[in-house]
Structure 1
Amino acid sequence: MRHALRQFHYLTVAAQVGSLRRTAEICQVDQSNVTRALKRLEDNLGISLFYRERSGVRLTPAGQQFLAEISPALEQLEFARRSARSARRADSGLLRIGILTSLAGGFLRKLVQNFTVRHPRVTIDVRDGGRREHLAAVQTRQLDIAIITGTAEIPGCETRELGHERVYVAMPDAHPLAAKAKLVWSDLKGERFIVSKSEPGPEVHDYIVRRSADYSTYPDVEVKAAQQETLMNLVSLGQGITLVASAWTAIKVPGLVLRPLTARADIVPFSIIWSSTNDNPALLRFLHTAQLTRSHTVEAATLCGSDLID
């Protein structure tokens, strides 16, 4: 078992760095050990995992498929190892959280901040990704928690609504609508939207189409092969407008302004979802902190008129 794990570790590192020499340096072993271990693994499997070239190594199609199939199991094993090591302390552990939005501001930042203050010895592993990806990871226990917009009914999982946040329109500061303090959806008729190809772009795209249909219009939406940060800079450069969660109000992008949509339909719920069979103590502590943070934030929103709405 130990030899197999070592082989899998060398395989993963070599696939990432593309060099057996560099793999040996990272793993702090002789290169000959790496070479022999990988050759033995290939012999046992009956396939070639790597193309070996002068410039380094790269996975064969069979190697790519094999690594993709074993990676979730290796990740789960690493999680079990780290959890076992931290189990000797009741106030420590590891919590894996999947998110769709920025941690720069808003309720999610407050929640994570409150949790780290209350449980400083718990390591938080925050992962960006898409809704489907995160929900599947929660079901297979590769994530402890996913925080998503809307709600979801997933077999074997529990969901708790944390609150609601307002949708904002991001636009260049020279845009005519930037002169308005607030917007309604009809103000956006005829505007050109841009969204990212990666998450949360597809979800934003669906939301734009759905809200435009309420006004019997079909929107002009262009999908960009850019991450969210790059997309926001494209907006500031006049390439189009887009929609974002209120967390983006905490991020300053030169030439970019955000204006809230005031309709009740543009206040969206966000929820936390976890596997009902997940007995990670850190998960239970996080759920408790989420409830406390929600109560305090709703109280502050009531007093101060915040964008978080109960």
Structure 2
Amino acid sequence: MSLENANLRCFIVAANRRSFREAATVLRVRQSSVSRAISRLEDELGVSLFVRHRSGARLTAAGERFLSAVLPACEQLETAQRTAAAAGRAETGIVQVGVLTSLAGGFLRSLLHGYRKLNPGVEIDVHDGSRDSHLAAIQKHALDVAFLTGTERAPYCECAEIWRERVHVALWKDHHLAGRHCLDWDDLRKERFIVSRFAPGMEVQNYIVRRASTCGVRPNIEIKNAGRETLMNLVSLGQGITLVSAAWASVGLPDLVLRPLSDAHDVIPFSAVWSAQNDNPALRRLLSIAHMMSGHARPGTSDWAAPTLGIRRLHDVNA
């Protein structure tokens, strides 16, 4: 048996109003339409639901029982419809975000803060991890989007550059280079770099080797069995230096200082990577806001996000 939703609605309103005429007024249809809808419902159920009379209509005993049974189901259906519609408008739901950089400051923190402000009903679930693990999760739809360094496209993924950050050297406050306003690679010839064994340590190591070689520097790199936070504390304790993005400037560790690399090549792009098959409305809203904030608004989108958030364009952050 398949009960038509319109017939049920006519029945419920008529039962509440005790009148087909008043039900028609509420539903903005003709009284004959209400009468036909209820007749179809009675024919399908095989029982009379109303006793009709000139002054209105009253429920039969079977109608009373049917009303008490069908009301909770209809309320649940309406709730489900409202919930689905809200999710389709990105008013509710969840967006799974993979990150490599710090959330202590910078563009990504501003983006997630602004998104949360505009979409308080959407949960933002942030995942740390390596580039490879994030890409694998995106392809499996275990992640909605990852914000990664570089602009290289991954198989079966969409990629869009969102912002850039200048690379900084992290040193302890008593380091002989800490008094400089900015540094270049020639200053780092005799320094010992430390990097994490965990993400994004391998990317940092590869970056050091690549940039140092182009500047004629042979880097001394030691791999530490420590996460990012612990590694930065080791730097502040004088166990070596490392490279970080500008977002780390907001991390208030004692005895830690950051100095930017002056070379124009030491500005790295950050890109959003996601699956083209992912139809999560919350993801689409996040990407739209990211493009607006970066000044890279995509064709066909309205320029509303950045003014609403009160955030300036952030394409080149600390560059």
TM-score normalised per structure 1: 0.69
Larger Rg: 2
**Equivalent position of 2:270 in the other structure:** 270
In structure 2, the CA distance between the partners of 1:123 and 1:299, relative to structure 1 (3 Å rule), is: closer
Give CA-to-partner distance per residue, 1:179-215, whole Å, 9 cap, x none: 1011111111110000010011111000000011112
Q: Which digits, 9 at most, give the CA deviation of each residue in 1:145-195, with x for residues without a partner? A: 010000121222111100211000000000010010111111111100000
How high is the sequence identity, in percent, across the aligned residues? 49
Give the equivalent residue in structure 2 for 1:95: 95
Aligned to 2:201: 201
Q: How does 1:49-60 map to 2 (within 5 A)?
A: none
Which one-letter code corresponds to 1:167 in the other structure? Answer: V
Indicate whether 1:151 and 2:151 are aligned. Answer: yes
- Shifted more, 212-221 versus 233-242: the winner is 212-221
What SS does the aligned partner of 1:170 have? strand
2:287 equivalent in structure 1 = 287
Give the AA of the match of 2:209.
Answer: V
Give the Cα–Cα distance (whole angstroms) in 1 for the partners of residues 292 and 278 of structure 2.
21
What are structure 2's unaligned runs of at least 5 residues?
1-79, 296-305
- Quick check: 1:170–1:235 contact (8 Å CA) kept in 2? yes
Q: Please report the TM-score for the alignment, with normalisation by the length of structure 2.
A: 0.67
Task: Indicate if the aligned counterparts of 1:86 and 1:93 stay in contact, CA closer than 8 A.
Answer: no
Change (3 A) 1:84 1:274: farther
SS at match of 1:108: helix
Q: C-alpha separation between the residues in 1 aligned to 2:138 and 2:240?
A: 35
Alignment deviations for residues 276-304 of structure 1 (CA, whole Å, 9 cap, x no partner): 000011111111111121125995569xx
Determine helix, strand or coil for the equivalent of 1:114.
helix
* 8 Å CA contact retained: 1:301, 1:308: no
Q: State the shift of 1:308 in Å.
A: 4.1
User: How far 1:88 moved relative to its partner?
Assistant: 4.9
| Structure 1 residues without counterparts, runs of 5 or longer | 1-82
Secondary structure at 1:178 match in 2: coil
Contact 2:167/2:266 (CA < 8 Å) preserved in 1?
yes
Match of 2:124 in 1: 124
Change beyond 3 A, Cα 1:84–1:122: farther
Change (3 A) 1:271 1:300: closer
Across the two proteins, how many residue pairs are aligned to each other?
Answer: 224
Letter of the structure 1 residue corresponding to residue 181 of structure 2:
A
Amino acid at match of 1:218: R
CA separation of 1:85 and 1:255: change in aligned 2, threshold 3 A: farther
> 2:162, 2:193 → 1: CA distance?
29
Contact 2:147 2:271 in 1 (8 A): yes
Which string of whole-angstrom CA distances, capped at 9 and with x for unpartnered residues, describes residues 50-96 of structure 1?
xxxxxxxxxxxxxxxxxxxxxxxxxxxxxxxxx99953523111100
Instruction: Report 1:157-306 matches (<5 A).
Output: 157-295=157-295, 300=313
Task: Tell me, in whole angstroms, the C-alpha distance in 1 between the residues paired with 2:147 and 2:128.
Answer: 10
